[in-house]
Each structure stands twice: as C-alpha cells, then as structure tokens.
Amino acid sequence: MQHKPNIVDIAEITGFSITTVSRVLNGKGEKYRISKATREKIKSVAEELEYVPNEFARNLRIGKSKTIALIVPSLKNPFFAEIASVVNTEVRKYGYITLIGDSDDQVENEKTELSHLSSRSLDGMIVVPCGEKWDHLVKVHESGLPLICIDRYFEDTSLSYVSSDNYEGAYSATKYLIDQGHTDIACIQGVRHSMPNIQRVKGFTDAMKDAGMDTYTVTGDAFSEQNGYLETKLLLSRGKRPSAIFAFSNMIAMGCLKALKEENVRIPEAISLITFDDNPYMNYIDPPLTCISQPVEDICKIAVKILFSHILDDDKTPKHVLLKCTLKVKESVKNVSYSS
Amino acid sequence: MQHKPNIVDIAEITGFSITTVSRVLNGKGEKYRISKATREKIKSVAEELEYVPNEFARNLRIGKSKTIALIVPSLKNPFFAEIASVVNTEVRKYGYITLIGDSDDQVENEKTELSHLSSRSLDGMIVVPCGEKWDHLVKVHESGLPLICIDRYFEDTSLSYVSSDNYEGAYSATKYLIDQGHTDIACIQGVRHSMPNIQRVKGFTDAMKDAGMDTYTVTGDAFSEQNGYLETKLLLSRGKRPSAIFAFSNMIAMGCLKALKEENVRIPEAISLITFDDNPYMNYIDPPLTCISQPVEDICKIAVKILFSHILDDDKTPKHVLLKCTLKVKESVKNVSYSS
DNA sequence: AATTAAGGAATAATCGTTTGAGCAAAATAA
DNA sequence: TTATTTTGCTCAAACGATTATTCCTTAATT
C-alpha cells in the first residue's frame, strides 16, 4: 500500500463495510452497536496502517472544517503576535486549526483575506478589524459564520467582542500622571476611528477635565512607531513642552523613545512617558516604562470561549466583554509635585 | 438562493453544463473552445452570485490543498513571530495559505502537529525543528511532502534548509570582543544539539583559539530568558567574573539583563554584553545592545522560494543555504584594551 | 452526396467521508 | 410455535468540484 490508506482500504482488509469502519473510527461504535471484537480489529488495523482521515473529504461531507481564521493588522507587532500565539494555542484545545491572516492594517486586505479564507468553509472567525466600517464583517456574521472581534470593535452591532476597558485604562494612567503632579500632558493617539483609541482619548480627556485641567494635547493618527516618532518630534519643537507624554501603544512609545533620545531629552527627568501595552522588553528599556498592561491572554481565552459557544452551542446572542487593564508603575514617570 | 452558490447553481441559471461552467471558471475556456459569449455569461453570473469555489471539494478531487504548514518552536518569541509573519506574507503571494503550528519547543508537540496538519493534505511544510532527531521529518519528506527547515537544521540529510551562517556570525562577534580587549569571555548557549547552537559554539571557540585565548566558558542549555537569567546569576557568583558575556539569543540576553540589573552590574562598564538576534527594541534597551543580526526576512523569502520550487517545479534536489549575519555595534561592549 | 474535421457542450465517474434507512440473524417474549 | 425486540452490520446517496470520454452540430473536404 503505497498511497495513503483510507477507510476503503481498512474496510477491505478487515472485511467489514465502509460504514462500519467509519463509525468505529469516529467513536460511534457503541452507539451503532458494533461489537467490541469488530471495533478492536478495525482500530488495530487503522493504527497499523497509520490511517489519518482525509479532512477534506470529511469537511466536504459534513460542511464543517474544524478551522477558524484569525485576522490581525500585523504579526510583526508583538502585541498581535501574542494574540496570535494565544489564540492558536486555545483553538487547538478544541481540536480546531487556526488560519492566520495579516491585513497590514488595510481594510482592503482585510476584505481580501476574508473572502480568501471563507472559501475554506471556516467554522468561525476572530478579527482585529482595522477599518472604520464593519458592514463586511456583519455581513459575514449574518451569513451564518460566527465572528468575534477582539481588541478593536464596534458598538451597536450584533457582533460579539472582547477587549480591554480602554476608557478605564486611559483614565487611570492619566490620573496617575496628574497625581504625580503633571499638569501639561500630551497624548499621542493611534488610529482615530478605532474604538480602543476613541475610548482612550475619552478616558484621557475625562481624567483631565475631572481634575480641572485644560492644557492638554491629543495628536497623532496611527499605532505605529513612525507616528510616535514624528509626533514626539513635533511636540518637542513646540514653544512649551509638555511635562509628560502618554503613548497609546507600545509601538508609539518606541517612536517616542527614538525621538527623545535623538533630542537628548532625558526620561523621566526632562519629560515623563507612560504607555499602553506591556511586554517583556519594557523592563529592560532605559528607563523601564510605566505602562497600562492589557490582559491579552485573558482577552484571547475569553474570545475563543465565546466563539466556540457560538459555533458549538449555537448560542447566537452577542456578547460584549471588556477586561480591566493594570497600571504597572516603573521608572519613566517623575513625580513633579514638589519640584515645580 | 440562501445557501452558498456552487457550480451546479451557476450551471442551472446559465443553462450550460457543470463541465462547461467548471472549465470557464478555471480559465480553461479557451483550451476547450468554449465560445466567448458563453464564457462571459458564466463569469458574470458567477460574479453576481459571489461564487466562491469550495476548496474542499476541489482539494479532494485534485489532491492538492494550496496550503503549506509552518511549525515554529514558539510564536511568543519575537524571532519566530517575525518568521511567521514573513512566511505568511510570502506564501500568500503564491495564492497559498499558511497553517501555523506551535511546538512549544517540544519534539512531541512537533510530531503531533505534524500528523494533525498532514491530515489536511498539505502541499509543503516549513519547519523550525526543535529536537535532535529528524527521522520523522525525513519520513514526511520522503513520503512526498516537500519539507524545508529554517533556522535550525540538520546536516547529512536530504532535507533542504536555509539558515544564517551561525559559525561566521559567532566568530565575528567573538573576534569583535577580542578586538575590544576582552580576554575572559563567557558565552551562554541555547539548545545544545541544535545546529545553530553547535555552529555558534564552534565559531566562538575557534575565534578564541585563533586568538590564543583559553579562558572562556560555554554554559547554558536553552534559548530562553530563564536560562539567560540563571546562567548569568551563576557567572556573577564565580570568583573571577568574565569581562564579557555573549548571549546566543535575544531571549537569553533578556535574562542576562535581568540578572545584571538585579546584581547592579553596569553594562558595559562592569561587564560587556553582546547577543545574537536583533529587533526594534534592542535600540531602546539600556544600553542599546551590540548584536549579531540575522537576515530573517531573506531567510524566509529564500525558504519559501525553494519550497515552491520543490512543490511546483518538482525539483527534488536538496538545497542548503546559509546567509551572512551582520554585526551591529551599539553600546553594550566596552573597549578594555587600555583600561586593564 | 458522402465523409471528415472541428467546434461546443454534456455524461458520468471519481476523490474519501458521513449517515439515514434498512435488513438478516439471534435472542427474548408471548 | 410465533411475534417481537435486539444485535450487528450494510447499502447507497450525498458533499462540490474535476475531467476523460462521448456526443451532437455545423462546416469543410473529397
């Protein structure tokens, strides 16, 4: 037998019918009253032949692929790489496979990936959407393919989502800066229309207003290093420099660091820096960055759980979950209460 | 039409046969002399219905899946995340899909992934192997599934591989340390049996010997942060501390940093540090780490190219490619020539 | 007028599984 | 003994695409 063995081969060798073989191999032997002797014989032959079922034939027949797709803006961003890693691991626990798509933060790519992937009869989809429109996502979802958004999401839709409580996270980061005596704070935001960004801006401005402050800046338009770099350069060139910068992502923070270093502005002596997102490198950066850490692992686990409740239990009610962030105080924020 | 349209639907609507529809949609219209009018009609109907061929049926019939699998030791390691990102992008260019498997650096998982994935009639496979045995990989390859190793590989096999020239990289890093006046150097290695590690150790010791030095240490046994941390702790507790540490991976270097920080050992004043692997964070670490940068992007691109030459051109000759690394001098190595 | 060629499209088998329906023999009940 | 149930297993039709083979028109050639 040089070709890959299939159930027909096993049926011929054991002398039983294809049906019986299929049932035994699917663990439905008991249910269909196949005798123990038969079951064991079939199983042993299957093992001997190193039989591996052809997923395509199986998928074709039952219309399910045991495959879900994950679309992220960019795998190169460690934040999304971690998401990919966790989702991949969690999904495997259900015996499913994950296809990963990279949208490069372009809605067009997102759409292309969506249609590419959907030719593979997916059973579900997890998306970190990158656009400001979501018709295409809702359409997919309404066509019967369970879809859940993580990190970025949309309100007022039938789509489930799991994300951080960005408002609260930004609020507490800002409050922390204020408590440390900062009065002139600039925040460098990410993609403007994205929900995390909207919430963060809101959290930031609310915290400022609640503290009765009005000298603040909100600038920037991408979660990228480049944006962080350019905006920081601009901030530094202003007449009066802010005393603290709030970067809305780890990539933005990298850009800030680059710019601050270039201009020889010491952190936190000359300017304080706080950022969204945490990762192992943060501890070794000069100085270690105080940050708002998102519960990435939990977000992914919950998202996968919800997705499978949609897939397996046919539970269609949209679920909306926001998880608390944690403020991790390190060394990039200076207390200026007394020195100013 | 509420269900997903298939070629039968299109055949019924247009009034042509399934055969004709299939041929037109596969671009074989000309070849089979289907009239232009017919072709256009079929195409327009297909478009209108948003027809997407069922890949499973297609794969089942033709035995190809337009899918390749990538197995990496851990997606959480930015080095492998980058590999995943690039491979994914490159593979898409051929119209193929990438399935990503995470072996968590355990051969057992690698084998499980291998069999899991192979039930999906893969067309090819890219593996960063994690074990010291490769029978299972060769077996897969010899069973007709093109397989290529990247980063880690094995000599004397029929498997193709693409990797860095680890020997040369380690040699030049070591030489650099020596040129800076270091005489007592410790290197913290990764997984011992892995080829990159073997080559790096060889590069390191050869460079030391060529310079007539014999006070060096080779220690450690994993590419992990933990290993870097523990080994550095041990090194620091020795009577005579080395003047420089050579970390064999970015994760190991993180561990070193952690230990050095804990012990208040200043880099590079008290001890110099050089590491394998580069990434954006390296520039913002305190101090920026001098490193050996691997051409990850090129490695992946070449690997994908070779893989597809195996898949598409049926070119079975094993290819072995090693790419040069680059020494990136930053600020973590002190010149001790004159000070000692 | 008969034969051949070429254009254009259909029939039906096939890929490897799953599964509703069904059937013969053995065991049990009446 | 006959009727009923249980046991153990099989038939054959899907799933949606591909493709070798065959078939029917016309048009061209002999």
DSSP letter for each residue of B63-88: S--SEEEEEES-TTSHHHHHHHHHHH
Element (H, E) at B48: helix B36-48
Q: Which amino acid is at B101?
A: G
Please state whether strand D lies within 7 Å of residue A60 at its CB atom: yes
CA atoms within 13 A on the CB side of B249: 25
- pLDDT tens digit sequence for B284-296: 887 899 999 999 9
Instruction: Classify A232 in phi/psi space as left (phi over 0), alpha (psi -120 to 50) or beta.
Output: alpha
What is the distance between the alpha carbons of residues A301 and B104, in angstroms, rounded to a whole number?
Answer: 18
* Pairing label, strands B97-102, B67-72: parallel
Residue B1 pLDDT > 60: no
Closest CA to A195 of A229, A223, A173: A223
Q: Which of A203-207, B61-65, B218-222, B234-238 has the lowest mean pLDDT?
A: B61-65
Nearest protein residue to the C1' atom of D8, measured from CA:
A34
Residue B231 pLDDT > 90: yes
CB contact under 8 A, B85 and A78: no
Nucleotide with minimal C1' distance from the CA of A18 is: D10
pLDDT band at B111 (very low <50, low <70, confident <90, very high): confident
**Which of B57, B76, B119 is closest, CB to CB, to A60?**
B57
- pLDDT tens digit sequence for B116-139: 777 777 899 999 998 888 899 998
Average pLDDT over residues B313-335: 93
Average pLDDT, chain B: 91
Ranges in chain A, pLDDT < 50: 1, 340
At the second CATH level, the architecture of A65-164+296-325 is 3-Layer(aba) Sandwich (3.40)
Closest CA to B53 of B120, B17, B1, B8: B8
Closest CA to A150 of A139, A164, A140: A164
Q: Where in chain A is the domain with CATH 1.10.260?
A: 7-53
CB contact under 8 A, B287 and A286: yes
Q: Considering only residues 45-84 of protein chain B, which place a Cβ less than 7 A from any atom of strand D?
A: 51, 53-54, 57-58, 60-62
Backbone angles phi, psi at B143, to 5 degrees: -75, 0
CA–C1' distance A59–C18 (Å)? 10
Q: Considering only residues 119-158 of protein chain B, which place a Cβ less than 7 A from any atom of strand D?
A: none
**Domain spanning B62-163+296-324 has what CATH number?**
3.40.50.2300
For residue A28, give both structure tokens.
């439905």
* Pairing label, strands A97-102, B244-247: unpaired
Residue owning tokens 């523990």: B230
pLDDT band at B329 (very low <50, low <70, confident <90, very high): very high
Asked if A265 is an interface residue toward chain B (Cβ–Cβ < 8 A), one would say no
Residue in chain B lying closest to A114 (CA): B52
What is the distance between the alpha carbons of residues B83 and B71, in angstroms, rounded to a whole number?
Answer: 10
Inter-CA distances, A288 with A331, B25, B173, Å? 5, 57, 27
CB contact under 8 A, A287 and B284: no
DSSP state of B284: G
Q: Which of B2, B56, B87, B225 to mutate to test the interface with A (most CBs of A within 10 A)?
A: B56
* C-alpha distance from B52 to closest chain A C-alpha (Å): 6
**Which of A76, A89, A285 is closest, CB to CB, to B286?**
A285
Asked if A281 is an interface residue toward chain B (Cβ–Cβ < 8 A), one would say yes
Q: Where in chain B is the domain with CATH 3.40.50.2300?
A: 62-163+296-324, 166-294
Asked if A257 is an interface residue toward chain B (Cβ–Cβ < 8 A), one would say yes
Using alpha carbons only, give the angle B244, B249, B251 rounded to the nearest 5 degrees: 105
* C-alpha distance from B75 to closest chain A C-alpha (Å): 5
Q: Where in chain A is the domain with CATH 3.40.50.2300?
A: 65-164+296-325, 166-294
Element (H, E) at B328: strand B326-328
Nucleotide with minimal C1' distance from the CA of A35 is: D8
Asked if A21 is an interface residue toward chain B (Cβ–Cβ < 8 A), one would say no
Asked if B112 is an interface residue toward chain A (Cβ–Cβ < 8 A), one would say no
pLDDT band at B90 (very low <50, low <70, confident <90, very high): very high
DSSP A111-167: HHHHHHHHTT--SEEEE---SS--HHHHHHHHTT--EEEESS--SSSS-EEEEE-HH
Could you tell me the fold of the domain covering A7-53?
434 Repressor (Amino-terminal Domain) (1.10.260)
Asked if B281 is an interface residue toward chain A (Cβ–Cβ < 8 A), one would say yes
For residue A219, give both structure tokens.
């600038």
Could you tell me the fold of the domain covering B166-294?
Rossmann fold (3.40.50)
B107 with B99: CB under 8 angstroms?
Answer: no
